[in-house]
Protein backbone atom coordinates (compact mmCIF):
# COMPACT_ATOMS: atom_id res chain seq x y z
CA UNK A 1 0.00 0.00 0.00
CA UNK A 2 1.21 3.49 -0.86
CA UNK A 3 2.28 5.80 1.92
CA UNK A 4 0.45 9.13 2.21
CA UNK A 5 2.65 12.23 2.15
CA UNK A 6 1.95 15.94 2.27
CA UNK A 7 1.84 18.14 -0.80
CA UNK A 8 5.04 19.98 0.10
CA UNK A 9 6.91 16.70 0.62
CA UNK A 10 5.67 15.44 -2.73
CA UNK A 11 6.77 18.66 -4.47
CA UNK A 12 10.19 18.45 -2.84
CA UNK A 13 10.57 14.89 -4.10
CA UNK A 14 9.82 16.15 -7.61
CA UNK A 15 12.51 18.81 -7.18
CA UNK A 16 10.25 21.83 -6.85
CA UNK A 17 9.49 23.96 -3.82
CA UNK A 18 5.89 24.73 -2.91
CA UNK A 19 6.24 28.46 -3.63
CA UNK A 20 8.07 28.05 -6.97
CA UNK A 21 6.27 29.47 -10.01
CA UNK A 22 4.55 27.00 -12.27
CA UNK A 23 5.85 26.92 -15.84
CA UNK A 24 4.25 25.67 -19.03
CA UNK A 25 6.88 22.93 -19.12
CA UNK A 26 4.93 21.19 -16.35
CA UNK A 27 3.00 18.89 -18.69
CA UNK A 28 1.09 17.07 -15.98
CA UNK A 29 -0.37 20.25 -14.46
CA UNK A 30 -3.79 21.24 -15.82
CA UNK A 31 -5.36 23.42 -13.12
CA UNK A 32 -4.03 25.27 -10.12
CA UNK A 33 -6.33 26.71 -7.45
CA UNK A 34 -4.54 30.02 -6.99
CA UNK A 35 -4.07 30.88 -10.70
CA UNK A 36 -6.72 28.81 -12.47
CA UNK A 37 -6.24 26.92 -15.71
CA UNK A 38 -2.61 26.59 -16.75
CA UNK A 39 -2.09 27.68 -20.36
CA UNK A 40 0.47 25.77 -22.35
CA UNK A 41 2.77 27.63 -24.71
CA UNK A 42 1.76 27.09 -28.36
CA UNK A 43 4.21 25.07 -30.38
CA UNK A 44 4.95 25.59 -34.04
CA UNK A 45 4.60 22.36 -35.92
CA UNK A 46 7.03 21.87 -38.77
CA UNK A 47 5.20 20.49 -41.76
CA UNK A 48 8.28 19.60 -43.80
CA UNK A 49 11.32 17.65 -42.70
CA UNK A 50 14.86 18.57 -43.61
CA UNK A 51 17.43 16.12 -44.94
CA UNK A 52 20.60 15.57 -42.87
CA UNK A 53 22.80 17.25 -45.51
CA UNK A 54 20.56 20.35 -45.47
CA UNK A 55 19.70 20.31 -49.16
CA UNK A 56 16.33 20.75 -50.83
CA UNK A 57 15.51 18.00 -53.31
CA UNK A 58 13.76 18.65 -56.63
CA UNK A 59 12.29 15.45 -57.98
CA UNK A 60 10.35 14.94 -61.21
CA UNK A 61 7.55 12.40 -60.91
CA UNK A 62 5.06 10.94 -63.40
CA UNK A 63 4.15 7.67 -61.75
CA UNK A 64 0.58 7.47 -60.45
CA UNK A 65 -0.34 10.86 -61.88
CA UNK A 66 -1.95 9.87 -65.16
CA UNK A 67 1.20 10.60 -67.19
CA UNK A 68 1.36 14.21 -66.03
CA UNK A 69 4.73 15.57 -64.92
CA UNK A 70 4.91 16.97 -61.39
CA UNK A 71 7.92 18.43 -59.57
CA UNK A 72 8.08 17.62 -55.87
CA UNK A 73 10.16 19.82 -53.61
CA UNK A 74 11.09 18.19 -50.32
CA UNK A 75 13.54 18.89 -47.52
CA UNK A 76 12.21 22.28 -46.42
CA UNK A 77 11.68 22.26 -42.64
CA UNK A 78 9.21 25.10 -42.24
CA UNK A 79 5.70 25.45 -40.78
CA UNK A 80 2.72 24.72 -43.02
CA UNK A 81 1.88 28.41 -43.53
CA UNK A 82 5.38 29.23 -44.80
CA UNK A 83 5.32 26.24 -47.16
CA UNK A 84 2.00 27.46 -48.59
CA UNK A 85 3.49 30.94 -49.11
CA UNK A 86 6.55 29.48 -50.85
CA UNK A 87 4.31 27.28 -53.01
CA UNK A 88 2.25 30.31 -54.03
CA UNK A 89 5.41 32.21 -55.02
CA UNK A 90 6.67 29.26 -57.07
CA UNK A 91 3.29 28.86 -58.80
CA UNK A 92 3.34 32.53 -59.79
CA UNK A 93 6.93 32.25 -60.99
CA UNK A 94 6.19 29.17 -63.12
CA UNK A 95 2.64 30.17 -64.17
CA UNK A 96 1.26 26.77 -63.21
CA UNK A 97 -0.67 24.98 -60.47
CA UNK A 98 0.58 23.29 -57.36
CA UNK A 99 -0.13 22.33 -53.77
CA UNK A 100 1.44 21.43 -50.44
CA UNK A 101 0.79 17.84 -49.38
CA UNK A 102 2.32 16.26 -46.27
CA UNK A 103 5.15 18.80 -46.09
CA UNK A 104 6.10 18.38 -49.76
CA UNK A 105 5.49 21.10 -52.34
CA UNK A 106 4.10 19.80 -55.64
CA UNK A 107 4.40 21.99 -58.75
CA UNK A 108 2.47 20.90 -61.86
CA UNK A 109 5.15 21.68 -64.44
CA UNK A 110 8.64 20.54 -65.41
CA UNK A 111 10.49 23.80 -64.84
CA UNK A 112 13.36 22.57 -62.70
CA UNK A 113 15.84 25.23 -63.80
CA UNK A 114 13.47 28.08 -62.96
CA UNK A 115 12.52 26.62 -59.58
CA UNK A 116 16.15 25.81 -58.74
CA UNK A 117 17.14 29.39 -59.56
CA UNK A 118 14.34 30.85 -57.42
CA UNK A 119 15.10 28.59 -54.43
CA UNK A 120 18.83 29.39 -54.69
CA UNK A 121 18.00 33.10 -54.53
CA UNK A 122 16.07 32.41 -51.32
CA UNK A 123 19.17 30.79 -49.80
CA UNK A 124 18.38 27.08 -50.22
CA UNK A 125 20.93 24.55 -51.42
CA UNK A 126 19.15 22.68 -54.22
CA UNK A 127 19.87 19.19 -55.52
CA UNK A 128 18.12 17.39 -58.37
CA UNK A 129 16.86 13.93 -57.49
CA UNK A 130 15.16 11.30 -59.59
CA UNK A 131 14.44 11.55 -63.33
Q: Is residue 67 part of a domain?
A: yes
Range of the domain at 116: 55-130
Closest by Cα among 101, 100, 104, 98 to 114? 98
Is 46 contained in some domain?
A: no
125 with 89, same domain?
Answer: yes
Contact 114, 44 (CB under 8 A): no
Q: Which pTM was predicted?
A: 0.65
Tens of pLDDT, residue by residue, the chain (131 residues): 577 888 778 777 777 655 555 554 556 666 667 777 777 766 667 777 888 888 999 999 988 888 888 999 999 999 999 999 999 999 999 999 999 998 999 999 989 999 999 999 999 999 999 86
Instruction: Using DSSP bridges, classify how beta strands 31-32 and 125-130 pair: parallel, antiparallel or unpaired.
Output: unpaired
Do 59 and 115 lie in a common domain?
Answer: yes
Amino acid sequence: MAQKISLTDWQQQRGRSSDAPVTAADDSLVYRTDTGTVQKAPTTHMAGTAYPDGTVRLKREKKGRGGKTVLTISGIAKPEAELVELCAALKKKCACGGAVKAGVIEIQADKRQLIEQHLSQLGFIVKWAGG
